[in-house]
Structures are given as C-alpha cells and as structure tokens.
C-alpha cells in the first residue's frame, strides 16, 4: 500500500510550485511608534536590522501529498507558510498553486464570540475562499459534522471550549480547499487534541487533498508526511525523503553525533514506524474508550523502513502522570525456518486480546522497537502513541484492579460463646 502510494504520488501533477523565494524583514532597532519621536528626531534615520528569513527557496509539492516543512524555531518555516498563504509578500521569487488554498494557522481565526455559530460558520467559510452562497449551502454539513445543529443560534461566547473546537474543526474540514497549509501551532494543546487534529488531516489526505504541515516535531512528521523539506538558517537544506529529512534535522540539533545519542535512548530512530494503532471492543468494533472489566483487542500496525534484524516490539501502558503501569514485549511469531528479520517495507501487525484490569481513568500507550536483539539498537520509540479512557463505576485505589481472592475472617470467638 505504502509503496504504491508513493509511486502514485510521483506521477501526480504539481500542486504547489515555489521558485526562488527570498524574504527579508526590516526590524527597527528601536521602534518608533509615535509621531513625536519622529518629529523630535526628524533627521535621525530609522535604524533597521535586516533579518534574512528565507533565501532562495524552491520546491514542488505534488497533488495529494502530505508534505512536511521541517526546521527549528526561527528557521523561517512559518514565514514560508505565510508567504504561500498570501499573508506576507516575498521580496523575490514566486509561488504558484493549483486550485483553492486555505491556511490553518490557528483554530477558529476570525470567530466572533458575539455571533451565533450559524453566522460564524458562514463568515469563516467566505474567509476560507467559498462564495457566500456556497458557504450558506455547506452550513448544514458543518453543523452536522460538529454535532452542533441544535445550538446553531447560540452565541459563540456561550459555547464550551470543546464545542468551540468541534465547530472550528468542522469549518476546516468542510472548507474543502484543494491545498491546505497547516501550522504546528494548530496542534498545540493536549495530546488527545493534537492527535485528533492530525488524524483529521490524514483523513483529508486520503481524500486526495494536498496538505503542507509546518512542524518541528519529528515523530509527527514521520508518521504523517510522504515527503518533507528541511529549512535551516533560512536556507533549504534538504528536500525529499521524510526519514532522511528527520535524520538530518536530528544531526543539526545534536551536533552530528546522532549515533551516540541514539544509543543513550534519547532519540527515535527511523528504522520503523507505526502506521496505525487502535483498540477494538469484543465485537471487533474500533473504539476510543473501553469499558471497565471488558476485555479489549489491541492492534498496532508497524512498518519496517529499513531492514530490521531480530526485531523486538514493546508496548507500555502509562497513567496520566506518565507512570508505567504494565506492558508486554513481543518477538516475531516465526513459522519454522523463517529468518528473524524484516525487509524494508514489510509490515507487522501486533494484535490480540487484553484482559482489562484497569480502573476507570485516562491511560496512554507508548511503544518502542529494538533491532539486533542482543545489541539492542533502537529502531523506534514513541511516547503517547495512543490515549484512551477506561470508563466504569468500580473505583479503587491506584490504577489496576488486582485479581485477588482475599477474605476478612474473624478469628477470636465472641465473648460468651
């Protein structure tokens, strides 16, 4: 599937074409904000510090691609996004886009708390490039997606923050632009939220939309992006394979000695990645949350990016404070005579039923993969792979219900017996 996807993308037409983009900001050394300062010092020319934000950036993004713009804070990646979104004007170079483009730099930009969600949705639709009629036509779809139809006429200021987020998401999904530019700040917030945010985007990607994600979070980029580029000190450092981009990013950050750091276990490697992870209830339906005392089925689909010798897969359940509670480690289940190794591109499904002895609460799943079992090289390590809630009424101390057979028995016979 994966490889076919990348072949298909290589054939796809270009959706975004960026050529030789330069951008310099003039930052006043001492900002003159008032006329008085200008009048009292009429001849002192305002002193500017020039900040080169982008220098000679050129690249193409293909239609249907999930493309990452990676770089450290201040490398110029957000500036690039804003130039592509027509918010800043480049000093030189040009950007061409096929179809309608919508930037998502912040969730719910332009929402007016004094207006009803009906009005806000329409205004936002037009803001994202729909015509007024088109925005009105999609109003119902947006409200349905957000499950807020009955609150359509409620002013936004009376919405709970959860409802607001749902509405903003719905607007975004239904805006249905051909090209979407997404800033990482969108994904800031709690883990569950950013997870949801990104899964919405990967869903849109599967519908053939072109998505550009600006981020400095490598695990996220590795998980979602087809290709990526690395910007460093306002220049394009690398363009192409996502794993290679991520590796170069780590080299930049850790001064080249990646292997050292990797051995210390601080760094995710790029030899494997999780394609999907999900839970199912006993009826084999995908669920977000599981009921207390009900067994659930755990599934994790992992792909080898490079050949993996003697891989080990390990999963840990953590509570909300990040304390490890339980876990399991698996080797490949090998038929007789098969080599204990994976080729690049091979997929492994780690799956099975788990007896649920968690008490009600929120839990996280983290995972790591090791290759060369005896040497123990990290192939992959991801914290907070999945987050889920166990619901139920049987509360207790701690996080896990012990399977015990303990009784309280009175020993001393009562007086007068």
Partner 1 sequence: MTVEELPLREVPGPSALGGGWRRSLDLLYLMAVTEFKRTYFGTVLGYLWSLCRPLMLFGVMLVVFTHLLRFSTVVHYPVLLLMNIVLFGFFQEATNAAVPSIVSNEGIVRKTQFPRLVIPLSVVLTSLFNLALNLTVVFAFVLGFGITPRWTWLLLPLLILILLVFSTAVAMILSSLYPRFRDVMIIWSVVSTTLFYASPVLYPLQKLSGPTQTVVALNPLTPILELARRWLIDPAAPVSGGTLRIAVPVFVYAAVVAAAVWIFRREAPRIAEAL
Q: Which stretch binds partner 1 (CB under 8 A): 118-126, 213-221, 333-341, 394-402?
A: 118-126
Which pair of tokens denotes residue 245? 């981009």
Q: Total binding residues for partner 1 by CB under 8 A?
A: 49
The verdict on 256 binding partner 1 (CB under 8 A) reads no
Measured CA to CA, the distance from residue 245 to residue 225 in angstroms comes to: 11
Helix axes 191-206, 161-175, angle to 10 degrees: 20
The verdict on 121 binding partner 1 (CB under 8 A) reads no
Measured CA to CA, the distance from residue 15 to residue 18 in angstroms comes to: 10
The verdict on 64 binding partner 1 (CB under 8 A) reads yes
Q: Are strands 179-183 and 210-215 parallel, antiparallel or unpaired?
A: parallel
DSSP state letters, 56-72: EEEEEEETT-EEEEE--
Measured from the Cβ of residue 254, the count of other Cβ atoms closer than 10 Å reads 15
Footprint on residues 204-243 left by partner 1 (CB under 8 A): 208
Q: What angle do CA 362, 203, 290 make, to 5 degrees?
A: 25
At closest approach, how far in Å is the CB of 184 from partner 1? 14
Measured CA to CA, the distance from residue 104 to residue 184 in angstroms comes to: 9
Which pair of tokens denotes residue 334? 């090998």
Q: Which stretch binds partner 1 (CB under 8 A): 8-16, 142-150, 216-224, 339-347?
A: 8-16
Measured from the Cβ of residue 43, the count of other Cβ atoms closer than 10 Å reads 4
Q: Find out whether 347 and 301 touch, Cβ atoms under 8 Å.
A: yes
The verdict on 128 binding partner 1 (CB under 8 A) reads yes
Closer by beta carbon to partner 1, 95 or else 312: 95
The verdict on 8 binding partner 1 (CB under 8 A) reads yes
Closer by beta carbon to partner 1, 129 or else 189: 129
The verdict on 89 binding partner 1 (CB under 8 A) reads yes
Please identify which residue in 51, 98, 200, 261 interacts with partner 1, judged by CB under 8 A. Answer: 98
Closer by beta carbon to partner 1, 97 or else 143: 97
Please identify which residue in 61, 101, 170, 252 interacts with partner 1, judged by CB under 8 A. Answer: 101
Q: What are phi and psi of 337, to 5 degrees?
A: 80, 0
Closer by beta carbon to partner 1, 74 or else 110: 110
Please identify which residue in 10, 92, 109, 344 interacts with partner 1, judged by CB under 8 A. Answer: 109
Give the position of tokens 């204990």.
340
Sheet holding 227-232, edge to edge: 14-28, 48-62, 235-241, 227-232, 66-70, 210-215, 179-183, 101-104
The verdict on 154 binding partner 1 (CB under 8 A) reads no
Please identify which residue in 61, 70, 85, 229 interacts with partner 1, judged by CB under 8 A. Answer: 85
At closest approach, how far in Å is the CB of 50 from partner 1? 13
In which element (H, E) is residue 126 found?
Answer: helix 117-127
Give residues in contact with partner 1 (CB under 8 A).
Answer: 8, 12-15, 17, 25, 33-36, 38, 63-64, 82, 84-90, 94-99, 101-103, 105-106, 109-110, 112, 114-115, 119, 122-123, 126-129, 131-132, 178, 208
């Amino acid at each position: 599937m994966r490889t076919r996807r990348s072949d298909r993308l290589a054939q796809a037409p270009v959706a975004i074409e960026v050529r030789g983009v330069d951008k310099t900001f003039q930052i006043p050394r001492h900002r003159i904000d008032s006329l008085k300062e200008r009048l009292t010092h009429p001849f002192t020319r305002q002193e500017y510090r020039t900040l080169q934000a982008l220098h000679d950036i050129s690249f193409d993004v293909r239609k249907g691609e999930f493309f990452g713009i990676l770089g450290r804070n201040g490398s110029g990646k957000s500036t690039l996004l804003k130039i592509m979104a027509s918010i800043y004007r480049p000093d030189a170079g040009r950007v061409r886009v096929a179809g309608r483009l919508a930037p998502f730099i912040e969730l719910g930009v332009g929402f007016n708390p004094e207006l009803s969600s009906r009005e806000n949705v329409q205004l936002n639709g037009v803001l994202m490039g729909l015509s007024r009629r088109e925005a009105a036509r999609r109003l119902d779809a947006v409200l349905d997606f957000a499950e807020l139809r009955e609150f359509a006429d409620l002013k936004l200021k009376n919405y709970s923050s959860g409802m607001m987020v749902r509405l903003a998401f719905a607007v975004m999904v239904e805006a249905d632009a051909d090209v979407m530019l997404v800033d990482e700040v969108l994904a800031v917030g709690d883990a569950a939220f950013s997870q949801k945010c990104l899964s919405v985007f990967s869903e849109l990607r599967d519908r053939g939309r072109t998505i550009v994600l600006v981020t400095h979070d490598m695990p996220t980029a590795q998980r979602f992006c087809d290709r990526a580029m690395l910007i460093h000190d306002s220049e394009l450092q690398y363009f192409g394979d996502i794993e290679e981009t991520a590796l170069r990013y780590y080299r930049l950050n850790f001064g080249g000695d990646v292997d050292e750091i990797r051995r210390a276990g601080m760094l995710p490697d790029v030899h494997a990645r999780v394609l999907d992870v999900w839970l199912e209830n006993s009826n084999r339906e995908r669920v977000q949350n599981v009921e207390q005392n009900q067994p659930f089925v755990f599934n994790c689909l992992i792909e080898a990016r490079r050949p993996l010798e003697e891989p080990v897969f390990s999963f840990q359940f953590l509570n909300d404070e990040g304390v490890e509670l339980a876990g399991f480690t698996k080797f490949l289940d090998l038929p007789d005579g098969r080599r204990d190794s994976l080729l690049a591109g091979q997929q492994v499904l780690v799956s099975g039923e788990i007896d649920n002895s968690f008490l009600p609460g929120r839990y996280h799943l983290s995972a790591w993969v090791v290759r060369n079992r005896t040497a123990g090289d990290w192939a992959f390590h991801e914290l907070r792979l999945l987050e889920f809630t166990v619901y139920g009424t049987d509360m207790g101390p701690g996080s896990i219900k012990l399977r015990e057979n303990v009784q309280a028995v009175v020993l001393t016979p009562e007086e007068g017996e």
